[in-house]
Amino acid sequence: LALVSARQQQSRPQGQTCEFALPGKIMEPLVAILMTLAALSDASVLRVPITRLAVRQEDPLDGQSDFEAASLLDLAEQNNQTERVTLVNHLNVVYYGDIQVGTPGQVLRVVFDTGSANLWVPNYLSGSERYYDPMRSTSYEPTHQAFHIRYGSGPVLGQFCRDTVAIGELGLSNFTFAEVDDLSGFHNFHMLPFDGVLGLGFPSLSVGKVPTVMQALVDSGQLQEPTFAFYLGHDEQGELMLGGVDPERFVGNLTYINVTNPGYWAVPLDFIRLGDFLTMNLTATAIIDSGTSLLVGPEREVEAIAALLGARLFNGLYLVRCNELPNITFALDGHDFPLAGAELVIQGFRSFCVLGLKSMRMRKPMWILGDVFMRKYYVQFDWNQRRMGFALASHRNDHNTTNLI
């Protein structure tokens, strides 16, 4: 998740405990971002307006819930739906939204992560401020299967269970997910503004080989289309659309690219071009990952880009003088997706800017195009046809109608 990325699943001999052994995707970069911003703020250099913590007009967790728990039993009968999920934007580095778990529903905040495939939420033993209490659910059913997933910042431990899960008006009864009771090894989890993770990756990524939320929704026939789509706002809330797209959230037409790896949402990467002075074609794959805050790439390539930008590392993030920065273009399967230099910046202080760029050592080189990329481009994820559609996102006061090349 910022969460991180390129994971390999290892099964225990007993088949009851599983983990991701990827290079530290989830949450480690996000924690680093938050700690770096805090450090700069403590140095009386960074000024973060408090309104950035409330970029949406209304917090879905304040007051009455958007959905009624009493209607959960009827949800499976409602077919051909689309569901809009409001995503709270925290400092332009993480987006999260509400789900309900149990009967009656308990509201929790989750990151909707295309880079993983499991749903997990903390339970009352985890020490989290907000948690899922199975004792309050009349539809809870325990299992004896352990859950173990390892992120760059540490492990998350618990066990699988079955209960009702609702996303807006969409509901899944007797769904298998993980209730996490041990976050003690996860460094600084309390700094993160969400409670759990809902994976939207393909079944081959599922720890424990349990069903995924998206596959269950598709199989239930509730969705109008077997797709979902993301709009990530800049200094404003985002939106996850399940079962279709929101035409008001993008301009022009969707450009479709087939997925090359039916695990991650991976597409061919032809080359990366920085301004007019650097083109690299060393890496052949890019992953579109809503759970990663930044652009994450192989160490050698990121260091080359940073050197040409005159950027320096500070707490694991690159700082650069806020002069005019060159564009960076990702060529995906014959289509160019440029980002303006200013769109690489996630925060600024005085004359310096924090770049949304991070390096990672990987066994198999790949680029992870996270929220920095997905703010610029509206992305539709087509579950059945194993493809993604890209279009320029339509932001507030944005009248750009240019089509993709």
Going from the C-alpha of 358 to that of each of 86, 126, 252, 294, 334, the distances in angstroms are: 27, 30, 31, 7, 25
CA distance 280 to 368: 15
The shares of helix, strand and coil residues in the chain, as percent rounded to the nearest 5, are 20, 40, 40
Amino acid 137: pLDDT: 98
- Kindly report the pTM of this predicted structure: 0.84
CA distance 80 to 78: 7
Residue keyed to tokens 């899944």: 172
Q: Identify each DSSP E strand in 246-384 by its residue range.
A: 250-258, 261-262, 265-274, 278-280, 285-288, 295-298, 312-314, 317-321, 328-332, 335-339, 345-349, 352-355, 357-360, 367-369, 377-382
State CA 22 to chain mean position distance. 16
Element (DSSP H or E) covering residue 120:
strand 119-122
Residue keyed to tokens 């924090």: 354
Amino acid 190: pLDDT: 86
**Residues designated as active site:** 113, 289
Contact 390, 251 (CB under 8 A): no
Contact 349, 362 (CB under 8 A): no
Residue by residue, pLDDT tens for the chain (405 residues) are: 433 333 333 333 333 333 333 334 545 556 666 666 655 555 433 322 222 222 332 333 343 333 333 333 343 345 689 999 999 999 999 999 999 999 999 999 999 999 999 999 999 999 999 999 999 999 999 998 999 998 767 889 999 999 999 999 999 999 999 999 999 888 788 889 999 999 999 999 999 999 999 999 999 999 999 999 999 999 999 999 999 999 999 999 999 999 998 789 999 999 999 999 999 999 999 999 999 999 999 999 999 999 999 999 988 899 999 888 999 999 999 999 999 999 999 988 788 999 999 999 888 899 999 999 999 999 999 999 999 999 999 987 554 444 444
Closest-CA residue to 343 (of 333, 353, 334, 335): 353
> What is the sign, positive or negative, of the torsion defined by CA atoms of 263, 268, 274, 279?
positive
Amino acid 277: pLDDT: 92
Residue keyed to tokens 């192989």: 298
CA distance 105 to 139: 10
